[in-house]
Structure 1
Amino acid sequence: MAERVDDLLERGNGWAERIRDRVTHLPPELTELVLHLGQAGTFWDWHYKVDATWKRQTKALLKTDGARELVTEAIRALAADGSLHDCTDPNVTRQDLWAKSDRTPTRDLANGFALAAGYLARGASPAELEDLVADLLTVARKNAFVLDGYYKRDDDLSGAVFTALADLSAMEALWTLHREVQPGAHSHRHLAKMVKKTATRIGVPPHQLQERTVLTHGVDADGTLRLGWIGRGAVWLNIPYEALITISDTGRVTVDWTDVDDGGTVTRTTTPFRSPTGFKTKYLSHNVDVTRRLARAIEDTLSAERRRLYALREENRLWPYAEWARYYRDHPLTGIVARALIWEYETGPGSWTAGLPHPAGCLTLDGRTHALTGTTCVRLWNPTRAKPAQVAEVRGFLAAREVHQPYDQTSHAT
């Protein structure tokens, strides 16, 4: 049986070499588990459907002494170095990294171990689960083109990890991946499905699911997204010219097109983001349309967030400061809207302080910066709760700082 296990381990594959000694000298029961996990290739593909019989047998085999430790170590080895494909050489081109990998017994085994990791929740300590989820998160990031660096994209393995995290109800890890993995990845649709399925199962309210799954489209915290050829700009998208998509503080989206074949001439356009004359002829229409579609998608998301936050004025929602900061103030798109609105912060029992979001906490109406803790409650300022004097103070505060609001918060004052 050991020879059959060795057949699953591709010579020269980094992950296979890291686990070879561990998986080729096992008692018969654990060897049976490894061989069984290697059969994941009989069903696991772009449909991301787990075979029920395989799953049932996997759970039975995981009851063997030492099985939990074996799977955990295999996942940790997948999280190390260049993960499954071990591509960390900066001389390897992005095109090589994008190339779809052929199905091999080693890939099938890796997918099997990833899926099996999702069945380890029962009997695991909180610390063990935390470590396992952290390793799975690293594997997903390395194989879904999230991290800067030279990691080969593997949608099958990413999808297997998304499934495992859902089985483990690792909601925070799924939130993180949904924010980081871009829709261009084939596995993103499966990720979105796992996020929704897990959130529903553990009782996440619909409004919380909505605010935690707002797409970033790859926009950085400074409101920019740089696109370019291999090794320049976003790692998950390459184009034969350079483009910079920028979102201003007022939510205006612009595209700076750089003609790399014409001395770096830069042309700025706004919606509908027409490309410079001759760009489509020189760089081909489908390459140019990628940037235009992305800029439009960013505009659409911004518009949707303006509508969503406008609707919040009728609600009396409360957020813990740390949660609000992550999903509102610091979100690269939602933050454009949220940072232009007045919010209230509970600075004492029953005491609320109004102000604009600030990196250190909030900027109060008297111009002071107030530091906040992670558990401080935050709510959207509503003029119907305020006295006329405060409404007037808010108007003056916004006017003095020339804040361009997505809607006039003071217009509903009574």
Structure 2
Amino acid sequence: MSDPLAHVFDPGNGWSTRIRPHLTGLPPHLAELVLHLAASDAFWNWRYKVDTPWKRRTKALLKADGADALVRRAVRELAAGGSFHDQGDPEHVIREIGQVKPPSPARPLAIGFLLACGWLRADTDGLSADLALVARKNSQAMDTYHRVDHEIAGAAFTALGDLPGSAAMEELWDLHQRITPSIHPQRVLVKSVKRAAARLGIPADEFAERTVPRHGLEPDGTLTVGWIGRGALWWNASVDAVITLHDTGTVTVDWSDDNGRTTRTTAPFRTPNGYKTPLRTDSITLVRRYAQDIAKTLAAERARLASLADAPDRTWSWHDWSRHYRDHPVTGVVTRSLEWEYRLPDEDAFRPLDPADLDAGGAVPATARVRLRPAAAG
């Protein structure tokens, strides 16, 4: 007897090979689910919108016994290794540039499983973490290179936005900060974050502080841009430059020429004489625009933190303050320019926060509450 699911697999795809044993010999109701999910390409396109009848049918099929576990297993395997495209080697960034590969017949099934995750009844067994890992690997938000797949990343973003519970929200906060706006599905990520935050009733002030972009900056405030195989993995530019956000609040760009000479410029980040060539023009424009965007984010954060003077009762847990203020590469610059204080649970008065704690080297108890010192605000 022929396998009715044979056409949804791809013998040349690692994820398809790993998941096939779990999709073989399924009862009719689960086989129907798999076939339905494998048709996701007819209802999911570059606009990242799910067809309502297809979504309604998916939800109905997910109620069957065994469907929940099957979907979770498929996504867990999709998060493993090199994700769908089986690539996690930084050297692939060189070999793949300009190459167009035919789509795998298993790709619609992978997208279907991802979308179905958002309609499961509970976020358990690390489901949101698996979805976030799939999203990172397919949107190049990792330290090592993985082949980018916008539709797969968009499906993971969408599922996280639909998934109930706070764990998915935490993953979305992190993705929103780290995913570069230059990738096509970033817009669906923004919509997913807004949708999940609205569902959970996240206040506007918390939403603002948790969605400040990191702009790809390292903890030391730098972003290295380089030719293929150098600099940020998600940005292959025909120029060598380092964008730096300094603790002084100044943004600089260090341009390196073919002779190894480096010239530093500040806003409006013009390049040295003779540096711009036809090959570099587009990349130079992108670098300058990126530096300008960092400066704009910094200015917006200065204004936002200054407005905290109007909310003297606003406090943060030590964990949240460290994550969203002290350790953020942009917000942290403003944070270190202000005076903060903290209070322990058994104390009534606040005490000044030592500068060492602003540099992540102090020893404030994790139970502390932090606030902007009222006299120093603004």
TM-score bracket relative to the smaller structure: over 0.9
Q: Which residue is equivalent to 1:366? A: none
Q: Which residue is equivalent to 2:369? A: 377
Confirm or deny: 8 A CA contact 2:93 2:233 kept in the other structure. Answer: no
Render the CA deviation track for 1:226-246: whole Å, top value 9, x for unaligned: 110122111111112211111
Q: Which residue is equivalent to 2:267? A: 271
Shift of 1:92: 2.2
Q: Equivalent residues in 2 for 1:91-106 (5 A)?
A: 91-94=91-94, 96=96, 102-106=102-106
- In the alignment, the residues of structure 2 paired with residue 144 and residue 334 of structure 1 have an alpha-carbon distance, to the nearest angstrom, of 24
- In the alignment, the residues of structure 2 paired with residue 178 and residue 353 of structure 1 have an alpha-carbon distance, to the nearest angstrom, of 33
Q: Which residue is equivalent to 2:170? A: 172
Shift of 1:97: 6.2
Confirm or deny: 8 A CA contact 1:144 1:154 kept in the other structure. Answer: yes
Provide closer, same or farther for how the CA distance between residues 89 and 252 of structure 1 changes in structure 2, counting only shifts above 3 A. closer
Shift of 1:197: 1.2
Provide closer, same or farther for how the CA distance between residues 382 and 100 of structure 1 changes in structure 2, counting only shifts above 3 A. farther
Provide closer, same or farther for how the CA distance between residues 258 and 99 of structure 1 changes in structure 2, counting only shifts above 3 A. same
Render the CA deviation track for 1:238-288: whole Å, top value 9, x for unaligned: 1122111111111111110011x2x21111111110011122226431111
Confirm or deny: 8 A CA contact 2:39 2:112 kept in the other structure. Answer: yes
- In the alignment, the residues of structure 2 paired with residue 225 and residue 235 of structure 1 have an alpha-carbon distance, to the nearest angstrom, of 11
The residue identity in structure 1 corresponding to 2:190 is A
Render the CA deviation track for 1:161-219: whole Å, top value 9, x for unaligned: 11111111311010011111111111111101110111011100001101100011101
Runs of 5+ consecutive residues of structure 2 not aligned to the other structure: none
Q: Whose radius of gyration is greater, 1 or 2? A: 1
Q: Which residue is equivalent to 1:397? A: none
Confirm or deny: 8 A CA contact 1:225 1:244 kept in the other structure. Answer: yes
Q: Which residue is equivalent to 1:44? A: 44
Q: Equivalent residues in 2 for 1:72-91 (5 A)?
A: 72-91=72-91
Q: Equivalent residues in 2 for 1:151-230 (5 A)?
A: 151-169=146-164, 170-230=168-228
- In the alignment, the residues of structure 1 paired with residue 374 and residue 77 of structure 2 have an alpha-carbon distance, to the nearest angstrom, of 52
Provide closer, same or farther for how the CA distance between residues 322 and 101 of structure 1 changes in structure 2, counting only shifts above 3 A. farther
State the superposition RMSD in angstroms: 2.0
Confirm or deny: 8 A CA contact 2:43 2:54 kept in the other structure. Answer: no
Q: TM-score by structure 1 length?
A: 0.85
Q: TM-score by structure 2 length?
A: 0.93
- In the alignment, the residues of structure 2 paired with residue 232 and residue 12 of structure 1 have an alpha-carbon distance, to the nearest angstrom, of 30
Provide closer, same or farther for how the CA distance between residues 357 and 203 of structure 1 changes in structure 2, counting only shifts above 3 A. farther
Selected match of 1:235 from 211, 233, 236: 233
Shift of 1:23: 1.2
Provide closer, same or farther for how the CA distance between residues 22 and 52 of structure 1 changes in structure 2, counting only shifts above 3 A. same
Provide closer, same or farther for how the CA distance between residues 159 and 241 of structure 1 changes in structure 2, counting only shifts above 3 A. same
Shift of 1:24: 2.6
Confirm or deny: 8 A CA contact 1:137 1:173 kept in the other structure. Answer: yes
The residue identity in structure 2 corresponding to 1:372 is V
- In the alignment, the residues of structure 2 paired with residue 4 and residue 40 of structure 1 have an alpha-carbon distance, to the nearest angstrom, of 17
The number of residue pairs the alignment matches comes to 373
Report the identity percentage: 48
The residue identity in structure 2 corresponding to 1:336 is V
- In the alignment, the residues of structure 1 paired with residue 174 and residue 125 of structure 2 have an alpha-carbon distance, to the nearest angstrom, of 15
Q: Which residue is equivalent to 2:245? A: 247
- In the alignment, the residues of structure 2 paired with residue 45 and residue 109 of structure 1 have an alpha-carbon distance, to the nearest angstrom, of 14
Q: Equivalent residues in 2 for 1:362-373 (5 A)?
A: 371-373=363-365
Q: Which residue is equivalent to 1:26? A: 26
